[in-house]
Amino acid sequence: MLTRRSAEKFERELILKRDSGAVVQGDDKKRMLTSEYFSLWLEHVSLRQSKGWNDSVIRMTQTYILPAIGHIRLQDVRAPDIGRILGTMKSNGFKAQSMLHVFNILNSAFKASVEYFCYLDRSPVSKLDRPKIHQVERSYLVPQDAWKLLEVARNHHLGPAVWLAVLSGLRTSEIQALTWSSIDFSKRQILIKAAYKRGIKKVEPFPKQKDWAIVPMPEALCDYLLPLSHRKFPKDLIVPGKNGGILDQKVFWNGIVSLCEKAQVPKVSPHELRHTCTEIWIGLGASVEDIRRLLNHKSAETTQRYIHRTDDRLLSLASAMVLPKLKEA
C-alpha cells in the first residue's frame, strides 16, 4: 500500500532530478509503480484545478484505476490493462458517462507521462477504448412558451433566475453565485466570474470553463432587473436562497416545474432553460459562433448540442424561399 509519506518522498526525488536537468531513466524509470506515478501526477495537476475536480479525480483513481494497475510498474502498463478497467466498469453496470470520466483521467495521466514527465515513450491509452456517449435530445421551450413562462415568473421570488436563464443562458451554478455588482446596466452586460460548486458547497471564483466571461443582456432583461437591483440581499446575491444563503438547486428545479404548470407550458429543468435560450437567439439570427460565445463554451462541438433543428424553422425558411420571375425569351 502506497502511503502519503512515501509518495511525497518519491515525488520530491523525481522533481529534484527533473529540475536539475536530469532525465529519469535507469533504475528510477524501471522501478516506478503506476500508483507512485499517479500520486505524482495528481499533485502536479491539483494546483491547476478546483477542489471539486480534484476530489472527483482522486476518488475515481482510487476506486477504479489503482486497484487494477496500481501494483504494476508504469513501464509495464499496456493497452489491454486499460481496456480491462473500462470493461470491468461496463460489466458492473456503470453508465457510459462514468466510464468516459475514467477514460479521460487515464488519457490525461498517461499523456503527461510521455509529454511532461518523459517517463514513457508512448501512452498505453488507445482511442479504441474511449466509451461512446449517445447524446439525448434535451427538452426546451419554443419562444412562444418561453414568453408565457417569463410572464408568470415576473413577480415570483425565482423570477430573476428564470429570466437570466431564458434570456442570457446562464448556468444554474452561475446564477447561484451571481451578484448585483457583476451586472453593468449601462453596457447591458453580465460579468460571469464565479460559480457555486455543489460537490464542495462553495462558491469558486471562476465559472465552469475557468475563464471569466461577459454575457450580453437583452433590453427586456435589463428593464426587468433594474427595478429589482435596489433590493439588498445578504452577500449581494441576485437570487438568494433561504436565510439569504445560496439558492438550493432542488428548490430552483421544483420552482420551475411549478411555474411551467402555472404557465401551462411543457415542464423543463433549469438546464433546459439554457437550451430554450439558444432557440430564442437563433430565431433572432444568431450564428453557431454567437451561441458558443453566449454560452461560454470552449468548442463549437459542445454548442451544436444546444441547437435544435426544428421542422417549424425549416418550414418557415421554405415558405420564405421565393424564386424571382424569369424574363420570357
Q: Are 195 and 202 in contact (CB under 8 A)?
A: no
Q: What cell numbers appear for 196 in the block?
A: 457555486
Q: Are residues 148 and 288 located together in one domain of the fold?
A: yes
Q: Are residues 108 and 208 located together in one domain of the fold?
A: no
Within 10 A of 302 (CB to CB), how many other CB atoms are there?
Answer: 12
DSSP alpha helix (H) spans, the chain: 4-19, 26-31, 34-46, 51-60, 66-69, 79-91, 96-115, 143-153, 159-168, 172-177, 219-225, 249-263, 270-283, 288-295, 300-304, 311-320
Q: Are residues 175 and 293 located together in one domain of the fold?
A: yes
Last residue of a domain, one of 63, 96, 129: 129
Q: Are residues 154 and 291 located together in one domain of the fold?
A: yes
Environment class of 317 (CB within 10 Å of its CB; exposed 0-12, middle 13-18, buried 19+):
exposed
Separation CA 6–CA 13 (nearest Å): 11
Q: Flag whether 255 is in a domain.
A: yes
Per-residue pLDDT at 16: 62
What SS3 class is residue 208? coil
Per-residue pLDDT at 11: 54
Q: Are residues 120 and 152 located together in one domain of the fold?
A: no
Per-residue pLDDT at 73: 94
Q: Are residues 151 and 300 located together in one domain of the fold?
A: yes
Ranges of residues in the chain whose predicted pLDDT is under 50:
1-4, 7, 22-24
Which positions ≥6 away from 315 have C-beta within 8 Å? Answer: none
Q: Flag whether 319 is in a domain.
A: no
The total number of residues shown for the chain amounts to 329
CA-nearest of 102, 81, 246 to 179 is 246
What is the pTM for the complete model shown?
A: 0.68
Q: What is the DSSP letter of 50?
A: -
Q: Are residues 299 and 168 located together in one domain of the fold?
A: yes
Q: Are residues 75 and 48 located together in one domain of the fold?
A: yes
Q: Are residues 170 and 80 located together in one domain of the fold?
A: no
Per-residue pLDDT at 267: 96
Q: Are 40 and 7 in contact (CB under 8 A)?
A: yes
Instruction: Tell me the residue type at 81.
Output: D
* End-to-end C-alpha distance for the chain, whole angstroms: 90
Last residue of a domain, one of 129, 160, 185: 129
Domain containing 177 equals 143-311
Separation CA 163–CA 89 (nearest Å): 41
Convert the pLDDT of each residue in 53-66 to its tens digit: 788 899 999 999 99
Domain count, the chain: 2
- At CA 198, angle to CA 92 and CA 102, rounded to 5? 30
Within 10 A of 286 (CB to CB), how many other CB atoms are there?
Answer: 16
